[in-house]
Amino acid sequence: MKTYVVIMIAALSAAVGESLLSFGMRRYGAMNLAEPSQWLVLVSSVVLNRYIFLGVVFLGIFFFLYLAALSWADLSFVLPLTAVSYLFAALLAKFFLKEEVSWYRWTGTIVIVIGIVMVAFGGKSRSVAPVPSLQTTDSQGIMGGLTEADRHSCRFFAQRPSSLDRTAVREEGNQ
């Protein structure tokens, strides 16, 4: 249940952030990114325009909630559910930004929502076990939380020569 709640809050944060960015960028008009001076305007707008700044903050909230959700559930579960932000964004575009949202866009948004419902009710949210923690408190150190196969893989990659080492070996062999 917490995964659903966090994903919904994250999706709403993303939609609010994107709406604030859109509202803030309307002040500047169309940007011509071929002109270097426009890049300075774009970068400075993050600090100078409160709507863009708040949009970035809301997108930051989305990012950290998204990370938390990924720690609890599979990517193939979390990512489609965050698409509910498209519904939130369409509603914000219509009622907050006063955009003309065509019936084609509403239909597309409804198709996305149907897909979200299919993912949400289509099975469990975690299909693989989480990766074991690398930090342990036992005497085995950093390798203690890994399976024997994982320990073998770590030793294999740790013992393989790097590309620089292989170059040196080839050069020694040519002499």
pLDDT digits (tens, 9 = 90+) for 110-151: 999 999 999 888 877 777 777 666 554 555 555 555 566 565
Q: What is 122-151 written as a DSSP string?
A: SS-S--SPPPPPS--SSTTGGGGGS-HHHH
Binned at pLDDT 50, 70 and 90, residue 37 comes out as confident
In this prediction, residue 151 carries a pLDDT of: 57
Higher confidence at residue 139 or residue 63? 63
For position 145, what pLDDT does the model report? 54
* pLDDT score at 150: 60
- Please enumerate in sequence order all residues whose Cβ is within 8 A of that of 143, keeping only pairs 6 or more positions apart, or say none: 151, 154
Phi first, then psi: what are they for 50, rounded to 5°?
-65, -30
Tell me which of 44 and 168 has the higher pLDDT: 44
CA distance 9 to 81: 11
Q: Which amino acid is at 109?
A: T
